[in-house]
Structure 1
């Protein structure tokens, strides 16, 4: 994908429909637990949890459910045990696909992901087959109408900014994953609120798709994301402008 923001905009348009699905509640609840387990319950020190709470609130997950998931993550109350796993494969047009999942049954999940990929014109690959094409990066999106590139660089230069990419209506700021929390705090302290911020798998290069394969890829990603165990899907497919409107 030529810019993480393209896919984020597509996801934003789907959020209303997704919010109506009980499966989406399951996903945000899992992420709350996993984020807490990984970094603790203090959002000042755990930006992944802060992001997870924002996502949970965006789909109207009740406050008591958010608090309960965090307590399960800390072990304060008993909760399910999930393994975080990554599956690799290929999609329409030969694009690379990474599937992040959180599961309590690896055999079930791998079988379901393999089936969805095959049905959608793709295929499951061996571990490492496409993962080398991606790098984990912190990603922030800022509207150009509000901030200039110089303003972003002035704040971020001493806090790990690696690149500021021009993505149409937004500036996309990239950093190493270990600098994500410090950079997030620096932007907040400067009153610079991003439209979107997360640690994502970014492709080194992209594969341009025609409309037909682009539509197939979108359908495949929808099918993968509809699975309760799948948390995120990453691809190096670059959609044509006709599918971004």
Structure 2
């Protein structure tokens, strides 16, 4: 369900957690800000106005429990507690303090994404998860993309790459930028991975003449989404 209009605030005193979550959520299309404690979080909630707040419990200055109780006074954002406190008593306390969901560390990022999507669906019941971009339709709930109404059979990486190209349709994206957003900063695979997956997409799109995904010599690639039907 990623959508650039959805804002997420990550609140955790561990800088590595803040960085990991921020990079991952940005790659999924969310707008993200971070805070290292509850007091800073309250100020950012007022100015940033997030729809989702992911917060740790054990933080200095103001812990997650106090923050969770303070949030409803200034925001109707959904809260997901992300913490190492894993007893049933901890979970019950967190939910009773006002958290909408509770996830224990260590966690799988895909599970966090799914829980975020649940909160967004609950808050925006009319949300279809579909976005039309030219000739393409992205269904973010089903993780599918259709071209002229026909669903493309894409691998997870192909879906992620094509989604990124579509969100930036008609803009030239460098190979380096694509590599970072699709494969991540720490990717250590083949140097030509972008070219390989661009060729996969062109085959799936029957784009033999490169009219949909254009190579801009010396600069990168640009996807021409076409006109909406």
Which protein, 1 or 2, shows the higher relative CO under an 8 Å CA cutoff with sep ≥ 6?
Answer: 1
TM-score (norm 1): 0.28
TM-score (norm 2): 0.29
